[in-house]
């Protein structure tokens, strides 16, 4: 038996916006794989819930008029993994969300919930950040879009206004075109786990595939929110496909990340693993892009 004070079921996005305004204390419920756990634990005991789970308009992956990828916020992890658009243009995202929990969680959990939760360990977060995803929010005044980097405010807090719900995540064409990436989830077991650290890297190679034209990297659990790695990215851009490039890039990640000591893992351990993941992710991304390491 769950301690839930009230439960409102939205019939449309507009209805959800109205419910948000009517019940400002209420928590939005999507797949429920985090919120219901928190209600049971007592952290959200007595909560009011607004369920948007029946809004099928927020499900599915499409290409818009400008060929940007649009992922409806209620699209489940398992649907993302199996979606042909995802597989063709940003397969790494499908792979990343296939590492969430177990099969039942991946059927119920949604990418919108995974990002709105604001947790640094979310398996979708580092890849979305590394691919410059855009968050689409719908509120009383219409649609607002912002880079995902700005969406994350602090641990557990994201930029959703009191009248808004998140309706989509967009991957701009300029982001995914010719781009190939790899994600490593470092966890203490091979399923049913939360990342100790997650690393997502993607590259665009020069036309002759001899050097890195663009490189982006983001980590989960390397700071209070998922974070990008400007120092490491700069260290790789324009560099040839050599071991030295990989090493410089991976070491530079230490300037970007801010892991902490906790009983789950020490700072030294997280840093060590982060550097090794950066190495392996870059090498794998280059390989996927058709590059050959010297």
For the window 75-114, what string marks contact with other proteins as x by the rule CB under 8 A? ---------------------------x------------
**Can residue 193 be called a binding residue for other proteins (CB under 8 A)?**
yes
**Can residue 186 be called a binding residue for other proteins (CB under 8 A)?**
yes
Of 146 and 192, the one with the shorter C-beta distance to other proteins is: 192
**What is the rounded CA–CA span in Å between residue 110 and residue 267?**
30
**What is the rounded CA–CA span in Å between residue 253 and residue 231?**
7
Of 57 and 192, the one with the shorter C-beta distance to other proteins is: 192
Contact criterion met (CB below 8 Å) for 90 and 68: no
Least distance to other proteins from the beta carbon of 36, Å? 14
For the window 196-215, what string marks contact with other proteins as x by the rule CB under 8 A? x-------------------
Of 32 and 60, the one with the shorter C-beta distance to other proteins is: 32
For the window 250-289, what string marks contact with other proteins as x by the rule CB under 8 A? -------------xxxx-xx--xx--x-------------
Residues 6+ positions from 219 with CB-CB distance below 8 Å: 126, 197, 198, 199, 200, 226, 227, 229, 253, 256, 257, 274
**Can residue 3 be called a binding residue for other proteins (CB under 8 A)?**
yes
Q: Which of 6, 192, 293, 294 binds other proteins (CB under 8 A)?
A: 192
**Can residue 247 be called a binding residue for other proteins (CB under 8 A)?**
no
Name the segment binding other proteins (CB under 8 A); options: 127-135, 141-149, 193-201, 226-234: 193-201
Q: What is each CA distance from 214 to 167, 217, 237, 242, in whole angstroms?
A: 29, 10, 5, 15
Least distance to other proteins from the beta carbon of 191, Å? 4
**What is the rounded CA–CA span in Å between residue 294 and residue 288?**
15
Of 134 and 232, the one with the shorter C-beta distance to other proteins is: 232
Full DSSP string of 31-58: S-TTHHHHHHHTTTTTEEEEE-TT-GGG
Name the segment binding other proteins (CB under 8 A); options: 16-24, 146-154, 190-198, 214-222: 190-198
**Can residue 159 be called a binding residue for other proteins (CB under 8 A)?**
no
**What is the rounded CA–CA span in Å between residue 170 and residue 207?**
26
Output DSSP code: residue 163: T
Q: Which of 189, 207, 208, 292 binds other proteins (CB under 8 A)?
A: 189
Output DSSP code: residue 283: H
Least distance to other proteins from the beta carbon of 140, Å? 34
**What is the rounded CA–CA span in Å between residue 93 and residue 200?**
9
**What is the rounded CA–CA span in Å between residue 13 and residue 73?**
12
DSSP-derived pairing of the beta strands 69-72 and 157-158: unpaired
**Can residue 43 be called a binding residue for other proteins (CB under 8 A)?**
no
DSSP-derived pairing of the beta strands 47-51 and 27-29: parallel
Q: How many residues bind other proteins (CB under 8 A)?
A: 24
Chain positions contacting other proteins, by CB under 8 A: 1-3, 42, 45, 102, 186, 188-194, 196, 263-266, 268-269, 272-273, 276
């Amino acid at each position: 038996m769950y301690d839930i004070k009230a439960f409102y079921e939205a019939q449309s996005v507009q209805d959800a916006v109205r419910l948000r305004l009517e019940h400002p204390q209420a928590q939005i419920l999507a797949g429920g794989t985090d919120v219901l756990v928190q209600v049971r634990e007592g952290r959200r005991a007595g909560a009011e819930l607004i369920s948007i789970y029946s809004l099928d308009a927020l499900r599915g992956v499409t290409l818009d008029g400008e060929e940007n990828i649009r992922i409806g916020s209620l699209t489940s992890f398992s649907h993302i993994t199996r979606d042909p658009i995802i597989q063709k243009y940003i397969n790494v995202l499908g792979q990343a969300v296939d590492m969430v929990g177990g099969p039942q969680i991946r059927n119920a959990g949604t990418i919108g919930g995974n990002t709105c939760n604001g947790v640094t360990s979310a398996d979708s977060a580092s890849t979305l950040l590394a691919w410059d995803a855009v968050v689409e929010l719908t509120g009383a005044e219409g649609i607002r879009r912002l880079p995902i980097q700005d969406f994350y405010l602090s641990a557990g807090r994201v930029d959703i206004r009191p009248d808004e719900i998140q309706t989509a995540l967009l991957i701009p064409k300029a982001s995914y075109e010719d781009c190939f990436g790899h994600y490593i989830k470092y966890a203490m077991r091979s399923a049913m786990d939360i990342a100790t650290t997650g690393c997502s890297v993607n590259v665009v190679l020069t036309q002759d595939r001899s050097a890195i034209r663009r490189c982006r990297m983001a980590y989960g659990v390397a700071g209070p929110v998922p974070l990008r790695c400007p120092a490491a990215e700069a260290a790789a851009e324009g560099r040839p496909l050599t071991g030295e490039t990989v090493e410089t890039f991976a070491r530079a990640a230490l300037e970007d990340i801010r892991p902490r000591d906790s009983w789950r893992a020490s700072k030294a351990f997280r840093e060590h693993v982060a550097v090794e993941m950066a190495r392996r992710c870059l090498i794998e991304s280059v390989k996927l892009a058709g590059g050959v390491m010297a």
